[in-house]
Structures are given as structure tokens and as C-alpha cells.
């Protein structure tokens, strides 16, 4: 099922002093949750409202409260951006109040708080000087990891699989807080700490680095990663010691610049962060039938629309479209890669708030240098009898690809042939650099077809069929 997106409208952008800092308030109608991008040099946070009009002239309002400089708003081609210029990165969050108000909270420190960067995440933590040494509120330190502590000593913490015991002599109580010296933190948690006048940096230490077929990085606590777009390049940054892939260097930070492992985000790089390891897999192109070809696969739905996750259609027993089409897409990716193709998935989870919007999927595709684009969906209808396969295209140059996919599905999977259809669907219309189609393989609302979606062997068959359809098309064109 394909939803036609409604145009959002921004009426006003303003800012106020709030309890926790500064709130930038964006009001309008039909506002979706904006994508947030952090850009450095100079530092700024950009909220992008896709497919949203700005009802006022482009402009800016000064803030001038350290470290916020100003907020700017501008509109281009029905995309509106709200940019907050900053003197340095500070904690922030986005709150959507129904679809008429979006608030960008910028947190400012309270008295006695210091900006603490823990593994690349910025928080404000209560600090206290005891005997000339800086102590930090233990709960503040643990906060980014969702670890809760009690008040009884010794405090036992399961810190990502590692049991840590803190006894009374290592801590000080003040008010409601338990404070711990940064020195002790260093020995307990195996972290590197640097304190400056304004900030404390606490970094995980890289414990293991393997680089054969796959690259594995293991940190003593989960490495924070952030995605930064600079000069049109997307880079994943890990904050960790040591500062480069060389493990010969000192284990402790001795410069103010956060030690970073920078990885340019390329199509052949897959990244899985899990517990305290980050796994990077770099696939190499193999010779095969599809060697030199790039296929973009877009599993339908699975992104957030405002605060809500768009699961796509749901079947009578609860099968979710976005979950099934992602499984098919991942299977198809493996099959195509086995033939030597380079495969780009627009997203590989259904629960990540960073999953791309429709416009982002289109831009992933259009900038990929790809040869074919296929968006995989399951159909839905109020008529529970409705069943079968239909495939959409918009440009006539995509029609033959639609026909190839439609006919091979119908022939090999024995589904009802509902035909190919020329329709004004967002991805078909906006992916312009290659043939682009959207196929609705089955009806998830039909009880018989829904049960096929639960059959892993049948999903394998769908992926195999799509692979053959793609291969046939590429061999003939
Ligand atoms: Zn759909």
C-alpha cells in the first residue's frame, strides 16, 4: 500500500527560554518529525522538514545565549530547513506535539553542571571538587547507558556484561547524589578521561581491532557513533581511543580534540553496533552475472512519520508489511551480491528513527549511480478477497522492467496477475536516474497470502524470483 504524502506547512519559527534551556518552536500544519543533521565547522544543527512549505519569507532570529547564536529558516523546492547556529555542540532533542508543533530543545547547563562528553554523547553532569579532584555524579555518568544504581554499598553494576563493584571508599555522598572521582572512573570503567576548563571527555578505549575479511572493533563500553555530512560525504565517527586505526599509540587522551575513528560511509560498508562491539563489514565485488551492476532495493515503509513508526499494511493475524518486505529485500540483496552486483538497501531495519523518508530514499537512489531501482511492497485492501500481484511504474522507460518483474512473479509464484500500472507514485516519479518500479507482491490483507508471508521458504522463493527477473532484464537491456 502506498500513502500519498500531504504537504506540510510551517507558519512560524520562534524561540523561548524554557526550563531546561532554549526551545526553538516550529508551528504549522501536517508537520512530520524533521530529520536532524549535525554539521561541523561551523557547528550547526539542521532540521529538515521534507515536503513542507514555509509560509513566511526566509529569515533568521538572533538567540545570542552561549552557545546558541541564531535560528535560521529557509525553504527550497517544498523542503524547509530550520538551522540553529552554535558555537559548539550541546545536548538537544526533538519533540513533536501532534502535527502542529515541533519543538527543538537545546539544553543549557544548570549551576554546578559541566558539559560531559561520554563516548561522543553530550550530557550535562553535576560535578564537585573534593580534595582538589573533580568528582562526577555517578548517576549522570551512567545515564547515557540506562544503568540504574541503588544506594547500598557496595554498588554492583552490570555494565554491558561486565560486573563492576564500587565500594563506599571510592565515592562521596552529597545531597541525593553519589559522586565518584574521575580518577576512579578511569580504573573502574577502562575509559580515557580528559578534563578542560569547560568540558570533561570520557572515551571508551579500543580493546580489540581485527581486520581480515571483516573489521571488528571492540570497545570497553559501547562506542557512540554519529553520522556527519560534510562536503557531500557521509562519515561515521566513532569516539574512541586510540585516535586512529593504529593501536600503537597511547591509551589515554592527551589532546583536547576528541580522538576519532572516521569511516567514510560507502555503499559497500555495513555497520552493526551491538552491545560493546561495532562490526564493520566491507564487501568486495565478485565476478558474476551481475558484475559491475548496482541495484537499489527499497523495502517499503519502516520509517517514522512524525512520532509514529509506519509499519505499512497489517494482515488479519498481525503480519506487518514493512517487516516482511525487509526480509525479502535482505534475501534479495544476498542473492544479487552472490552474482557480483553491488546492492544498496535504502534501510535495513524497521525500528530505527533514522530510517530514510521517501525523499531520502529517492536521493539515496539518485546519487547511487545505480542501474535499477525496485521498491518492494505488500498490497492491502478492505476487500479481504483481493489477492495477487501488481507492479507500478511512471516513466515509460521503466515499463519494460515493470513488465519483467510482474510476469516472472506471476509465472513462478502462481499469483493472480493484476497487471502493470502506470501511476504517479512518489518513488517511481522521483527516481529519475534509472528504471524505477514498485511491486506489490501479495495482499497481506488476504488470509491465504498473509500465511505465505509467514513461510520463510516462500520468502526465499520471492527473493529468488525477483533476482531472476532483475537478471533477465539486465541481460536483455
Ligand atoms: Zn506499501
Distance in angstroms (rounded) separating the CA atoms of residues 454 and 449: 9
Distance (angstroms) between ligand 1 centre and the Cα of 123 equals 39
Distance (angstroms) between ligand 1 centre and the Cα of 300 equals 5
Question: Given pLDDT bands bounded at 50, 70 and 90, which one contains residue 219?
Answer: confident
Distance (angstroms) between ligand 1 centre and the Cα of 379 equals 6
Lowest mean pLDDT among 12-16, 89-93, 303-307, 430-434: 303-307
Distance (angstroms) between ligand 1 centre and the Cα of 423 equals 14
Distance (angstroms) between ligand 1 centre and the Cα of 375 equals 9
Each residue's pLDDT tens digit, 414-451: 999 999 999 999 999 999 999 999 999 999 999 999 99
Distance in angstroms (rounded) separating the CA atoms of residues 162 and 169: 21
Distance (angstroms) between ligand 1 centre and the Cα of 381 equals 11
Report how far Cα 30 is from the mean position of its chain's Cα atoms.
23
Contact call for residues 204 and 191 (beta carbons, < 8 A)? yes
**Does the pLDDT value for residue 50 go beyond 80?**
yes
Give the CATH number of domain 8-107; options: 1.10.357.10, 2.40.50.40, 3.40.1190.20, 2.60.40.3470: 2.60.40.3470
Q: CATH says 294-476 is which class?
A: alpha beta
Distance (angstroms) between ligand 1 centre and the Cα of 265 equals 28
Burial of 19 (0-12, 13-18, 19+ CB in 10 A): exposed
**Does the pLDDT value for residue 318 go beyond 70?**
yes
Give 25 or 307, the one with higher predicted confidence.
25
Distance in angstroms (rounded) separating the CA atoms of residues 75 and 78: 7
Domain 294-476 in the same topology as domain 8-107: no
Distance (angstroms) between ligand 1 centre and the Cα of 413 equals 20
C-alpha cell at 316: 488479519
What ranges make up the beta strands (E) of 51-139?
52-54, 59-65, 68-76, 79-86, 92-97, 101-107, 113-118, 121-130, 133-137
Burial of 157 (0-12, 13-18, 19+ CB in 10 A): buried
Give 207 or 140, the one with higher predicted confidence.
140
Distance (angstroms) between ligand 1 centre and the Cα of 75 equals 29
Q: Which of 355, 375, 439 has its CA nearest to residue 50?
A: 355
Distance (angstroms) between ligand 1 centre and the Cα of 299 equals 9
Q: What is the mean pLDDT of residues 62-66?
A: 92
Each residue's pLDDT tens digit, 258-317: 667 777 766 556 777 777 777 777 655 444 678 889 999 999 999 987 778 889 999 999
Each residue's pLDDT tens digit, 162-181: 888 999 999 998 888 899 99
Distance (angstroms) between ligand 1 centre and the Cα of 250 equals 52
Q: What is the mean pLDDT of residues 342-371?
A: 92
Residues facing 159 on adjacent strands: 162
Distance (angstroms) between ligand 1 centre and the Cα of 191 equals 46
Q: Helices in 270-376 by DSSP H: which ranges?
A: 321-338, 358-366
**Does the pLDDT value for residue 69 go beyond 80?**
yes
Q: Which of 48, 49, 51, 46 has its CA nearest to residue 78?
A: 51
Q: Where are the domains of the chain?
A: 8-107, 113-202, 204-282, 294-476
Distance (angstroms) between ligand 1 centre and the Cα of 437 equals 13
Distance in angstroms (rounded) separating the CA atoms of residues 361 and 50: 12
The reported pLDDT for the residue numbered 447 is: 96
**Does the pLDDT value for residue 409 go beyond 50?**
yes
Amino acid at each position: 500500500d502506498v500513502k500519498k504524502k500531504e504537504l506540510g506547512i510551517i507558519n512560524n519559527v520562534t524561540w523561548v527560554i524554557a526550563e531546561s534551556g532554549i526551545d526553538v518552536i516550529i508551528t504549522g500544519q501536517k508537520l512530520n518529525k524533521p530529520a536532524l543533521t549535525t554539521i561541523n565547522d561551523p557547528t550547526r544543527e539542521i532540521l529538515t522538514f521534507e515536503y513542507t512549505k514555509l509560509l513566511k519569507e526566509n529569515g533568521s532570529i538572533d538567540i545570542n545565549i552561549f552557545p546558541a547564536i541564531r535560528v535560521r529558516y529557509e525553504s527550497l523546492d517544498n523542503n524547509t530547513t530550520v538551522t540553529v547556529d552554535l558555537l559548539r555542540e550541546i545536548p538537544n532533542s526533538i519533540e513533536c506535539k501532534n502535527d502542529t508543533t515541533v519543538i527543538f530543545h537545546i539544553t543549557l547547563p544548570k549551576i554546578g553542571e559541566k558539559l560531559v562528553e561520554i563516548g561522543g554523547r553530550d550530557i550535562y553532569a553535576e560535578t564537585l571538587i573534593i580534595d582538589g579532584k573533580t568528582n562526577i555524579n555517578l548517576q549522570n555518568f551512567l545515564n547515557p547507558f540506562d544503568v540504574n544504581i541503588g544506594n547500598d554499598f557496595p554498588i554492583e553494576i552490570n555494565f554491558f556484561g561486565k560486573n563492576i563493584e564500587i565500594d563506599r571508599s571510592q565515592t562521596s555522598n552529597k545531597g541525593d547524589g553519589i559522586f565518584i572521582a574521575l580518577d576512579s572512573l578511569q580504573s573502574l570503567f577502562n575509559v580515557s578521561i580528559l578534563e578542560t576548563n569547560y568540558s570533561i571527555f570520557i572515551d571508551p578505549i579500543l580493546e580489540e581491532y581485527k581486520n581480515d575479511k571483516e573489521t571488528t572493533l571492540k570497545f570497553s563500553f559501547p562506542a557512540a557513533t554519529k553520522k556527519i555530512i560534510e562536503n557531500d560525504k557521509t562519515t561515521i565517527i566513532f569516539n574512541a581511543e586510540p585516535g586512529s586505526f593504529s593501536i600503537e599509540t597511547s591509551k589515554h587522551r592527551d589532546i583536547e580534540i576528541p580522538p576519532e575513528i572516521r569511516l567514510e560511509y560507502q555503499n559497500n560498508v555495513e555497520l552493526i553496533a551491538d552491545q560493546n562491539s561495532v562490526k564493520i563489514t566491507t564487501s568486495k565485488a565478485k565476478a558474476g552475472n551481475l558484475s559491475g551492476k548496482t541495484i537499489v532495493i527499497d523495502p517499503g515503509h519502516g520509517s517514522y512519520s512524525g512520532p509514529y513508526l509506519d509499519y505499512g499494511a497489517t494482515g488479519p493475524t498481525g503480519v506487518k508489511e514493512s517487516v516482511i518486505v525487509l526480509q525479502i529485500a535482505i534475501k534479495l540483496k544476498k542473492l544479487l551480491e552472490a552474482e557480483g552486483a553491488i546492492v544498496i538497501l535504502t534501510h535495513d531495519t524497521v525500528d530505527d528513527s533514522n530510517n530514510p523518508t521517501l525523499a531520502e530514499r529517492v536521493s539515496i537512489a539518485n546519487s547511487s549511480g545505480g542501474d535499477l531501482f525496485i521498491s518492494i511492497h505488500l498490497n492491502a485492501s478492505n476487500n479481504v478477497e483481493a489477492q495477487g500481484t501488481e507492479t507500478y511504474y511512471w516513466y515509460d522507460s521503466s515499463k519494460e522492467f515493470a513488465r519483467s518483474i510482474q510476469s516472472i512473479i506471476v509465472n513462478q509464484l502462481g499469483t493472480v496477475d493484476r497487471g502493470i500500472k502506470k501511476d504517479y507514485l512518489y518513488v517511481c516519479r522521483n527516481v529519475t536516474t534509472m528504471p524505477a518500479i514498485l511491486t506489490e507482491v501479495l495482499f497481506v490483507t488476504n488470509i491465504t497470502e498473509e500465511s505465505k508471508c509467514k513461510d520463510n521458504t516462500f520468502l526465499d522463493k520471492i527473493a529468488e524470483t525477483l533476482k531472476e527477473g532483475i537478471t533477465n532484464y539486465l541481460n536483455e537491456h
